[in-house]
Structure 1
Amino acid sequence: MTDFTRRGALGAMGAAATLPLMARPALAQTKLTVGALRFTSHAASFVAYERGYFAAEGLDVEFKFFQAAQPMAVAIASGDADYAVTAISGGLISLAEKGATKVIGGALSEEKGIDGQKILASNAAYEAGLTSPAGLDGKSFGITQAGSSFHYMGAKIAAAEGATLTYKPLQKVPAVIGALKSGQIDAWTIVPHIAKPLAAAGAVQIIGNVADYIPDYQVTTVFTSASTAAGEREKTQAFLRAFARGADDFNAALVDRTAGDEAAEEMVRLIHKYVYTDKAYEAAKPGIVNGAMRINKDAALNMGSVEDQLGWFKAEGLIKDSITAETLVDPSYVPIV
């Protein structure tokens, strides 16, 4: 165990002990803006809001929705959002290097035995022979921005297959979906609540699983400004406690299925208030159910995955070699695994 991980584990002992506790409303309607995507993977925040876990901690939360990870990181740095959940990106890391942001926990993870993110091919590329990741060489791959999680996933898959990809930055997830459906790009990776409905509708083809190439991938993290992490500990602990309670409910209802069918149905209806809101409930339900990946208990953070991601960003020249995990992460709030 590295010194960094050891310090994080020691610092997290107190945090781990307090996260599951019933709420302590000591903050008296402290207003917060929480950044999110309209993804099932952001359900912990939605559950914490809808079931009063934030309110019970004295937090008056409103959501600010984004369509990509890097604009969310900028919003945290500028003060337009207080906390957010999204993937590690080059933008987030660079802002951390400037002293503007800090990762304080983990959220969505790839886990063996749980259906996770999918590798997709356009129908045109599939018909031309792209029926598995082994055929990716020379193909185009959709990303939001250079240094996004999509860029990282594409590169890791391509390296494993000995493939060379052409990356197409399209800025927003809806634009990537449109490009894949129309055949303007050949391939992409995305969470199952988006991938499976697209495939079921015949708009794209599933050709593989991200977890086969990046096992135990810490897909998303919880983060805030560096000043909040350092100077507003009580508020940050309260946010994480509520978030963790939301994650527990979500995992029990839709991942582990230990809460029963009625709880699962209630959870899907709750998430539908935020995800696939343009669809009728019955049409949205399969995608939400199929998108249920693990959200880490107690917002634990997989430091091995974070280190791997940092190593890739450095190798690609997207961040400075001097940046370390300590630059990006405050390990004192949650268990480090």
Structure 2
Amino acid sequence: MTHLNRRRALALMGGTLAASGLAAPALAANRKIKVGALRFTSHSANFIALERGYFADAGLDVEFEFFQAAQPMAVAIASGDVDYAVTAISGGLISLADKGAIKVIGGALKEEAGIDGQKYLISDASYQAGTQTLKDLDGKKYAVTQAGSSFHYMGSKMAQAEGIDLRFIPLQKVGAIIGAMKSGQVDGWSIVPHIAKPLASAGAWHMVADVSDYLPDYQVTTVFTSASNAADERGMTESFLQAFGQGVDDYAAAMIDGTADQDEMIDLIHKYVYTDRERAKAAPSIINGTMRLSQGAALNLASVQDQLSWFQSEGLVGADITLDTLVDPSYVETTGA
């Protein structure tokens, strides 16, 4: 296995079960682990697993480390600073997998028919100037965090379907993109609904299409860990996934299926998401962020393969990297293989 410090991991990136289906894991004996997260509603399964004691029941003493973008989390996993994380597939993550540093072990956020999902947006300044459909974005500026990010993938796949060219503008952080959209410095973007909806209502931008229109069944984020954890810490990894899956089930019951108390769930999520707002103002955005999380961390391999193939077609990762290089499918149920 390849063990990397954070500086080496950055260099290698080139700058760029079902809960019921898993066997009961071997308890991890109160192992201290760090879990990488973003302060998004889509990361709620981890927050629930901590708050409701599922991690503790699985023998894990969890501490969160929060990030602002996907690629730094991949670096932290590769360097051993973080043990498990949930994030989108990026060029950096794939490159680290190619170096034997990380493995995708499950699925998290996904697009699903009938459940609200990510939106394609046009800035208000561009919209008022006549850019009112995705096809109108031809030749315009499209915001991404980094080249090789999930934003880049979503924009490129949409542009390919629409037969247009986009000028991709890397702005590093979601907050910077929001500011650029508000000020009209960029024309288009795509983002999860809990960010898209309130700012659309406030007039900052216009929601013009759903990502699922172009990427049905898109496996938006995955659960991943170091290659050494995947290979050598099976009990601990199964314990993590078991607790994570319990968090997914609780989230779905309260926020999607209506079989559990939604207000109680909002209170829990609010401890981690929109913490700078009072609960009454945070609640609508938390509700707007409701998307499907994969039950039991099931992983859509067809979607992961499509993403890998796109990164390769863009020359962002090596052409000889295979799905087996990126994914360890032994931990969870997989679909679309």
Map of 2:129 onto structure 1:
128
Per the normalisation by structure 2, the TM-score is: 0.92
Aligned to 1:7: none
Give, in whole Å, the separation in 2 of the partners of 1:90 and 1:18: 30
Cα distance in structure 2, aligned partners of 1:163 and 1:256: 38
Equivalent in 316, 319, 334 of residue 317 of structure 2: 319
Mapped pair 1:237 → 2:228: no
Q: Is 2:169 the counterpart of 1:168?
A: yes
Partner residue of 2:205? 204
| Cα deviation digits, residues 197-241 of structure 1 (max 9, x gap) | 111222221111100000000000000000000000000000000
Question: CA–CA distance in 2 between the matches of 1:31 and 1:202?
Answer: 45
Structure 2 unaligned residues grouped into runs of 5+ = 1-16
Compared with structure 1, are the counterparts of its residues 31 and 69 closer, same or farther at alpha carbon in structure 2 (3 Å cutoff)? same
Matches for 1:110-121 after TM superposition, within 5 Å? 110-121=111-122
- Identity across matched positions, percent: 65
Aligned to 1:221: 222
The separation in 2 between residues aligned to 1:206 and 1:78, in whole angstroms, is 38
Amino acid at match of 1:245: Q
- Partners of 2:21 and 2:296 within 8 A in 1: no
TM alignment of 1:1-337, pairs within 5 A: 17-18=21-22, 26-259=27-260, 263-337=261-335
Contact kept in structure 2, 1:34 and 1:62, CA below 8 Å? yes
Q: Distance in 2 between matches of 1:289 and 1:17?
A: 28
What amino acid is the match of 2:278?
A
Query: What is the distance in 1 between the residues matched to 2:275 and 2:204?
Result: 20
Name the CA distance, whole Å, in 2 between partners of 1:287 and 1:132. 25
CA–CA distance in 2 between the matches of 1:159 and 1:135? 13
- What is the CA distance between 1:28 and its match in structure 2? 2.5
Question: C-alpha offsets along residues 128-150 of structure 1, whole Å, 9 cap, x if unaligned?
Answer: 12222121101101000000000
Encode CA deviations 1:104-162: one digit per residue, 9 max, x unaligned. 00000000000100111111011012222121101101000000000000000111111
Q: Secondary structure at the match of 2:165?
A: coil
Which deviations, in whole Å up to 9, do the C-alpha atoms of 1:75-95 show, x marking residues without a partner?
000011000000000000000
CA distance in 2, matches of 1:97, 1:325: 10
Query: Are the equivalent residues in 1 in contact too, given 2:22–2:332 (CA < 8 A)?
Result: no
Q: Report the Cα distance in structure 1 between the residues aligned to 2:150 and 2:258, rounded to whole angstroms.
A: 28
> How much does 1:280 deviate?
1.0
Contact 1:16–1:335 under 8 Å retained in 2: no
Residue 18 of structure 1: how far off its partner (Å): 3.0
Deviation at residue 27 of structure 1 after TM alignment:
2.4
Task: Count residues with an aligned counterpart.
Answer: 319
Q: Is the 8 A contact 1:138 1:164 kept in 2?
A: yes
Contact 2:21/2:333, CA 8 A, preserved across alignment = no
Query: In 2, are the aligned partners of 1:16 and 1:334 still within 8 Å (CA)?
Result: no
8 Å contact kept, 2:151–2:190: yes
Q: Is the 8 A contact 1:44 1:247 kept in 2?
A: yes
State the alpha-carbon separation in 1 of the partners of residues 120 and 259 from structure 2: 29
Q: Report the alpha carbon displacement of residue 16 of structure 1 after superposing the two structures with TM.
A: 5.5
Measured in 1, the distance between the counterparts of 2:317 and 2:128 equals 38
Structure 1 equivalent of residue 9 of structure 2: none
Q: CA RMSD in A?
A: 1.4
Partner of 1:205: helix, strand, or coil?
strand
CA distance in 2, matches of 1:286, 1:206: 17
CA contact (8 A) 2:34 2:81 kept: yes
